[in-house]
């Protein structure tokens, strides 16, 4: 149970890059990081517009002196201080992640980075090697993996409660961008421009979320090959896709699908992971994140509820309140930030043994997302052919 008691000697001195006023994701980063006092927001380069970022930072009660015009100045200036930042969160558009993350790791600062981690596997490899060399943590905000029943699913699959896994059916298909909303919405505009978004739109923006949940639930399932088709129903988005289907073969003979879409009219979020075994199936839906559906062939379906003592310990570890009270995305993110802090603290003490078994979405999670996108795009852009997973 997480109850706000201190776990670290003192909060980690933390800064943000991006996540400024009007950004989509900035507030949940701050809310999650500050929830359990494991981080203290002491600096930032919050906005591409330096003046707006400074004003915003001051309104967040960050000292004016430590509201910087850009991330390079921040790293330089913070290095000179005895109480300089120890960690930074990067909540900027995709195209900036690689250079900012690399600069942070070179400056000896732990990182929490938004997904997708970067554009290419080559860049992700550089980041991973740099983090390993400098003994730094890179957490990636696959926020939904902080929902506790995901860890119930993992345990149930591990313990054979579903039998042999045959099919993994994933989707994240919302309807918010069914028309060209980017014409009036800056948060969507960069998402459909390859210069800022990278090689994909919905594959990276939403598809990697359920994919990562499946990796958490089934860490041993490895993709053997895949086939992807992607299209832009709003034509001006080409070459980036607003809809994609991916079919995958796993090495153990199971098959999987991912439907990623921003044009699924009427759907609020539509993120689901359904795992089908030879005896039973599990299903998780992000619009009801406290519940896990368990369906044994030939028996009535069961709904497993967060916070109940029939769940495995791993699914109870990060509870903040008893079952029945709905927890949501903000709690899931807080769980991840709490874990990022614990991992950073262990890294500072060079406690490799602890880190070996301590779960959080790490640099490998980010790496795998980038790798999957790269393979999907290679398949789609070669005429939707089957490609071996590289
Ligand atoms: P946004 O366009 O709404 O906000 C981006 C913010 O970054 C703005 O405040 C902007 O001024 C600032 N910014 C841009 N370039 C900057 C720079 N060089 N230095 C400092 N600040 C800069 O974008 P968003 O929707 O909040 O997305 C940001 C990132 O978060 C993206 O990578 C996106 O994929 C990711 N995201 C993740 C989730 C999730 O569930 N984990 C959800 C939404 C967005």
Given a contact cutoff of 8 angstroms between Cβ atoms, the answer to whether 360 and 340 are in contact is yes
What is the position in ligand 1's atom list of the atom closest to the CA of 70? 19
The ligand 1 atom at the shortest distance from the C-alpha of residue 100 is 18
Residue nearest to atom 16 of ligand 1 (CA): 48
The rounded Å distance from CA 96 to ligand 1 centre is 9
Instruction: Determine the residue of 48, 147, 328 to mutate for testing ligand 1's pocket, defined as the one with the most ligand atoms within 8 A of the Cβ atom.
Output: 48
Rounded to the nearest angstrom, the distance between the alpha carbon of 181 and the centre of ligand 1 is 17
Ligand 1 atom nearest to CA at 17: 20
- Report CA(24)–ligand 1 centroid distance (Å): 7
Closest-CA residue, ligand 1 atom 31, reads 93
Contact 114, 92 (CB under 8 A): yes
Assign 377 to helix, strand or coil: helix
Query: For position 309, what pLDDT does the model report?
Result: 97
Q: What is the ipTM of this complex?
A: 0.99
Please tell me the predicted confidence (pLDDT) of residue 165: 98
In whole angstroms, give the CA distance from residue 37 to residue 29: 13
Distance from the CA of 153 to the center of ligand 1, in angstroms? Answer: 31
Q: Which regions in the chain score pLDDT beneath 50?
A: none
Residue from 72, 73, 63 nearest 40 by CA: 63
The answer, yes or no, to whether the previous bond of 295 is cis (omega within 30 of 0) is: no
pLDDT value of residue 201: 98
The span from the CA of 195 to the CA of 328, in Å, is: 33
The confidence score (pLDDT) of residue 58 equals 98
Beta carbons of 338 and 359 less than 8 angstroms apart: no
Please say whether the beta carbons of 225 and 384 come within 8 A: no
Of 161, 150, 159, the C-alpha closest to 279 is: 161
DSSP state of 67: B
pLDDT of residue 89: 99
Report the separation in Å between the CA atom of 20 and the middle of ligand 1, taken as the mean of its atom positions: 8
What is the model's pLDDT at position 33? 98
- pLDDT for res 241: 98
What are the phi and psi torsion angles at 173 (to 5°)? -135, 100
**What's the pLDDT at 90?**
98
CB–CB of 174/264 below 8 Å? yes
- Distance (angstroms) between ligand 1 centre and the Cα of 77 equals 23
C-alpha 91 to ligand 1 mean position (Å): 4
Of 21, 24, 43, 97, best ligand 1 pocket probe by most atoms within 8 Å of the beta carbon: 24
Whose Cα sits closest to atom 35 in ligand 1? Answer: 114
Ligand 1 mean position, distance from CA 23 (Å): 6
**pLDDT value at position 137?**
98
Among candidate residues 101, 77, 74, 102, the one with its CA nearest the CA of residue 89: 101
Minimum CA distance residue for ligand 1 atom 4: 23
Instruction: Give residue ranges with CB within 6 A of ligand 1.
Output: 17-20, 23-26, 45, 47-48, 71, 91-94, 96, 114-115, 141, 143, 186-187, 205
Joined together, the tokens standing for residue 329 give 């995305």
Q: Please, what are the domains in the chain?
A: 12-144+336-362 (3.40.50.720), 147-317+368-388 (3.30.360.10)
Backbone angles phi, psi at 23, to 5 degrees: -70, 155
Residue partners of 137: CB distance under 8 A and separation at least 6: 87, 110, 111, 131, 340, 343, 344, 347, 362
E strands, the chain, where?
12-18, 39-45, 87-91, 110-113, 138-140, 165-173, 223-231, 243-250, 255-261, 271-277, 280-285, 291-296, 302-305, 387-388
Ligand 1: centre distance to CA 75 (Å): 19
Q: Please state the atom number of ligand 1 nearest to the C-alpha of residue 141.
A: 41
H or E element at residue 29: helix 26-35
Q: How many helices (H) and strands (E) does the chain have?
A: 13, 14
């Amino acid at each position: 149970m997480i109850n706000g008691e201190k776990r670290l000697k003192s909060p980690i001195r933390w800064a943000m890059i991006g996540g400024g006023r009007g950004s989509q994701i900035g507030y949940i980063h701050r809310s999650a990081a500050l929830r359990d006092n494991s981080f203290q927001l002491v600096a930032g380069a919050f906005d591409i517009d330096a003046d707006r970022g400074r004003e915003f930072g001051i309104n967040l009660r960050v000292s004016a002196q430590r509201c910087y015009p850009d991330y390079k100045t921040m790293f330089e200036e913070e290095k000179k201080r005895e109480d300089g930042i120890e960690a930074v969160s990067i909540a900027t558009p995709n195209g900036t992640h690689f250079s900012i993350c690399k600069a942070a790791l070179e400056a000896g600062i732990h990182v929490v980075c938004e997904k997708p981690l970067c554009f290419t596997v080559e860049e992700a490899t550089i980041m991973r090697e740099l983090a390993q060399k400098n003994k730094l943590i890179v957490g990636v905000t696959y926020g939904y993996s902080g929902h506790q029943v995901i860890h119930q699913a993992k345990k149930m699959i591990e313990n054979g409660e579903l039998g042999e896994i045959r099919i993994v059916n994933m989707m994240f298909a919302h309807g918010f961008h069914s028309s060209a909303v980017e014409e009036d919405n800056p948060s969507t505009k960069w998402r459909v421009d390859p210069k800022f978004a990278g090689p994909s739109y919905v594959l990276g923006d939403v598809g990697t979320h359920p994919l990562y949940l499946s990796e958490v639930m089934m860490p041993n399932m490895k993709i053997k090959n895949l086939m992807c088709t992607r299209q832009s129903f709003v034509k001006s988005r080409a070459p980036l896709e607003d809809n994609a289907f991916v079919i995958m073969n796993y090495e153990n003979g199971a098959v999987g699908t991912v439907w990623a879409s921003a044009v699924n009219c009427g759907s609020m979020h539509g993120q689901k992971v359904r795992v089908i075994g030879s005896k039973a199936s599990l299903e998780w839906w992000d619009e009801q994140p406290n519940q896990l559906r368990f369906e044994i062939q030939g028996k009535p379906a069961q709904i497993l509820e967060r916070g109940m003592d029939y769940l495995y310990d791993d699914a109870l570890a990060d509870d903040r309140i008893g079952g029945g009270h709905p927890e949501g995305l903000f709690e899931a993110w807080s769980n991840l930030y709490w874990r990022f802090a614990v991992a950073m603290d262990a890294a500072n003490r060079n406690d490799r043994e602890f880190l070996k078994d301590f779960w959080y979405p790490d640099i490998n999670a980010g790496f795998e997302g980038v790798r999957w996108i790269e393979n999907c795009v290679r398949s789609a852009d070669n005429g939707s052919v089957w490609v071996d997973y590289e």
